[in-house]
């Protein structure tokens, strides 16, 4: 990290891979975060990458990002990047996270971490072995109503939790005129469960705790005859 601005907090230099909706949202988040809460660092987006030079350059200008590149590997290798923020479709997440970890960069990855368990496991192993800070962006757990429910459960306000049930309702692709989207490509978007259902899984784990195997039946295990 380099020396920070007037408030004295050191700069945390962020490189965002992806300039679409999430790249835009994250750019905004880094800018306003110090206004909402006192932070030990000042996050600054130093570079953004995207496949199309003109599009990522326009996005960088709109979001206030000084440098744009078309190769995400170049972004990871830059000396002015402390954190690699992955805001691309799920099919690219695991590889990018692994390469960022290998470069010694902290990793913030949009959900899901991978298209499947082996991909996600490999990415987690990479950041763990590299000893870098890492996180997956499950934002819905921070919604005020959800956070309040977490607090109520933790405090025992609702008693013993016996059932957690949720339904994800979304109509963003119900219109037949909706243009083709990467979410429709299994190799890039995974499945609906991977891309959107993972939010429900995260909230269930956050509220109810980790999945535990059921206890053995009374009297111990019995052999089948």
Spatial neighbors of 219 by CB under 8 A, at least 6 apart, are none
Residue 94 in contact with residue 119, Cβ under 8 Å? yes
Share above pLDDT 70 across residues of the chain, in percent, rounded to a whole number:
94
Range list for CATH 3.40.50.720 in the chain? 11-139
User: What would the pLDDT profile of 9-55 be if each residue is shown by its tens digit?
Assistant: 899 999 999 999 999 999 999 999 999 999 999 999 999 999 999 99
Residue 1: pLDDT over 70: no
DSSP state of 127: H
Among 206, 64, 191, CA closest to 117: 191
CB 89 within 8 A of CB 52: no
Instruction: Assess whether pLDDT exceeds 80 at residue 224.
Output: no
- Asked if 80 and 1 count as a contact pair (C-beta separation under 8 A), the reply is no
At 48-82, the pLDDT tens digits run 999 999 999 999 999 999 999 999 999 999 999 99
Task: Enumerate residues 6+ apart whose C-beta is below 8 A from 57.
Answer: 68
* Each residue's pLDDT tens digit, 104-134: 999 999 999 999 999 999 999 999 999 999 9
For residue 31, give the nearest of 17, 49, 41, 45 by alpha carbon. 45
Q: For 68-79, b where at least 16 C-beta lie within 10 A, e where not — what string? A: bbeebeebbebe
- Round to whole Å and give the CA distance between 223 and 37: 59
Distance, in Å, from the CA atom of 3 to the CA atom of 210, rounded to the nearest integer, reads 40
> In 3D, which of 78, 65, 79 has the Cα closest to residue 18?
65
Contact by Cβ (8 Å): 46, 14: yes
Q: Which CATH architecture has domain 11-139?
A: 3-Layer(aba) Sandwich (3.40)
Q: Is the peptide bond before 112 cis (omega within 30 degrees of 0)?
A: yes
Task: For the chain, report the end-to-end CA distance as a whole number of angstroms.
Answer: 65
Report d(CA 93, CA 110) in Å as an integer: 8
The one-character DSSP state at 79 is T
Cβ(104)–Cβ(98) under 8 Å? no
Whole-number average pLDDT of the chain? 90
């Amino acid at each position: 990290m380099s020396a920070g601005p007037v408030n004295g907090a050191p700069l945390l230099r962020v490189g965002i891979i992806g300039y679409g909706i999430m790249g835009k949202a994250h750019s905004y988040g880094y800018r306003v975060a110090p206004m909402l809460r006192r932070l030990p660092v000042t996050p600054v987006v130093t570079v953004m990458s995207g496949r199309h030079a003109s599009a990522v350059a326009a996005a960088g200008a709109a979001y206030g990002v000084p440098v744009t590149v078309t190769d995400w590997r170049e972004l990871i290798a830059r000396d002015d990047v402390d954190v690699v923020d992955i805001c691309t479709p799920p099919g690219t997440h695991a590889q990018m996270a692994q390469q960022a970890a290998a470069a010694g960069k902290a990793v913030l990855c949009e959900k899901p971490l991978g298209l499947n368990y082996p991909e996600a496991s490999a990415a987690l192993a990479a950041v763990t072995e590299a000893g870098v800070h890492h996180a997956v962006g499950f934002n819905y757990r921070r919604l005020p109503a959800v956070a309040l429910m977490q607090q109520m459960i933790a405090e025992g306000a609702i008693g013993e939790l016996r059932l957690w049930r949720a339904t994800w309702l979304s109509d963003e692709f119900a219109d037949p005129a909706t243009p083709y989207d990467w979410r429709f490509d299994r190799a890039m978007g995974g499945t609906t469960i991977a891309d959107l259902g993972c939010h429900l899984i995260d909230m269930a784990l956050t509220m109810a705790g980790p999945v535990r195997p059921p206890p053995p039946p009374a009297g111990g295990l019995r052999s089948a005859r």
